[in-house]
Amino acid sequence: MAESKSVVIAALIANGAIAVLKFLGFLLTGSAAMLSETYHSISDTGNQVFLLIGIRYSNKKASREHPFGYGKAQFFYSFLVSVLLFGIAGWESAKHGYDAIMHPHVPEQGAATLLGYTFPGVWVNYGVLIAAILFEGWALKKAYAGMKKDIEQHNWSGLAEAFKKTTNVTTLTAFTEDTIALAGAGIALIGIYLSRITGNPIYDAVSALLIGIMLMGFAVALAWENKRLLLGESLPESEEEQLRSVIEGWDGVVNIVDFRTVVFGPEDAILTADIAFEKGIATAEMDQKITDLEDALMEQNGSVSKVYIEPETRWRSRKETAG
């Protein structure tokens, strides 16, 4: 949790500073790409605030109204981030880029003065975007470290599998935002430079449109990944298989009648199982077997925080249980 928070704070600092500088560059040149990037950074800054709220809210202790805690708060706020990323940064950027394509105008070639030295205003854009690339690269490095830790912990094949399976949505959201922020700054820099040397504003306008489309695409993907967790997704099948193996190999277990897991927060899952034990086991011995099995299951998978085992006399095949 502390690592996720540090990733978000790093992105918040970077995006807040960059948003101010990008807006300054837009005021000096009227560049469509710079305005799109300003929308982008403002949205990202607000998004980091929402993620921090989600982290803080999810740390609340369980209550009568929420007996399994508030872990899903992070899923909700991450979903909200994806909506804002689409609505504010993506849509506004794409709309402004489209308008600039349909009604082209050459960006202003104003001048800026710093410490008594006057230089073309477009240099501000170059400097801001290069600084943005450096800042976002720093934030992305921290977010990638968090993702890499999850990948190694769960033995996933790479980022693609982590994107589909991770429950650490705060780090996932920060990583996604930092990736598209880095790409967006690069696209804007290329578009502004091409418009500057050719005198054709279409490059700047197309850059703004591409940034908007890219933001909306990533926002939809991020929202989809958060949806699966908000709806109560189970642990990945590979992790469930490992947990099933522990139960099936436990002394006295005859069959698994029912087995379910559900994720309630980042690294917080609940496991319930109805298990058929051998006949003739005394009550006290049964209680001890169940307690030991629950401890073994939580030790097997650190994400499992609660286990509920119910002894059963019924018997059904695994195929029937799945059905």
- Hey, which residues does 267 pair with through a beta bridge? none
Q: How much is the pTM?
A: 0.73
Which residue is associated with the tokens 């696209």?
A: 187
Residues 131-149, mean pLDDT to the nearest whole number: 85
Q: What is the pLDDT of residues 225-234, one digit of tens each?
A: 888 888 888 9
Q: Categorize the per-residue pLDDT at 269 as very low, low, confident or very high, splitting at 50, 70 and 90.
A: very high
Q: What is the model's pLDDT at position 259?
A: 95
Q: What is the model's pLDDT at position 48?
A: 81
Q: Identify the residue with better confidence: 323 or 294.
A: 294
- Pairwise CA distance, residues 291 & 316, whole Å: 23
Residues 6+ away with beta carbon under 8 Å from 130: 189
Contact 52, 44 (CB under 8 A): no
Instruction: Name which of 61-65, 140-144, 177-181, 312-316 the model is least confident about.
Output: 312-316
Beta strand 304-312 pairing with 111-114: unpaired
In this prediction, what percent of the chain has a pLDDT beyond 90?
23
Residue 290 has pLDDT above 50, yes or no: yes
Residue 323 has pLDDT above 50, yes or no: no
Give the E-state strand segments of the chain in sequence order: 111-114, 117-120, 253-265, 268-277, 304-312
Q: What is the model's pLDDT at position 190?
A: 94
Q: What is the pLDDT of residues 247-263, one digit of tens each?
A: 999 999 999 999 999 99
Contact 279, 256 (CB under 8 A): no
Q: What is the pLDDT of residues 162-200, one digit of tens each?
A: 888 888 887 888 888 888 888 989 999 999 899 888 888
Which residue from 257, 260, 205, 249 is spatially nearest to 94, judged by alpha carbons? 205
Q: What is the model's pLDDT at position 113?
A: 58
Q: Categorize the per-residue pLDDT at 276 as very low, low, confident or very high, splitting at 50, 70 and 90.
A: very high
| For the ranges 1-10, 56-65, 73-82, 294-303, the one whose mean pLDDT is highest | 294-303
Q: What is the model's pLDDT at position 319?
A: 45
Count other Cβ atoms within 10 Å, centred on residue 229: 22
**Would you state the structure tokens that stand for residue 126, as one six-digit string?**
């170059």
User: What is the pLDDT of the chain when averaged over all its residues?
Assistant: 83
Which residue from 108, 105, 138 is spatially nearest to 26, judged by alpha carbons? 108
**Would you state the structure tokens that stand for residue 151, as one six-digit string?**
């990948």
State the number of CA atoms in the 13 A half-sphere of 53 facing the CB. 12
Helix or strand holding residue 138 (H, E): helix 122-154
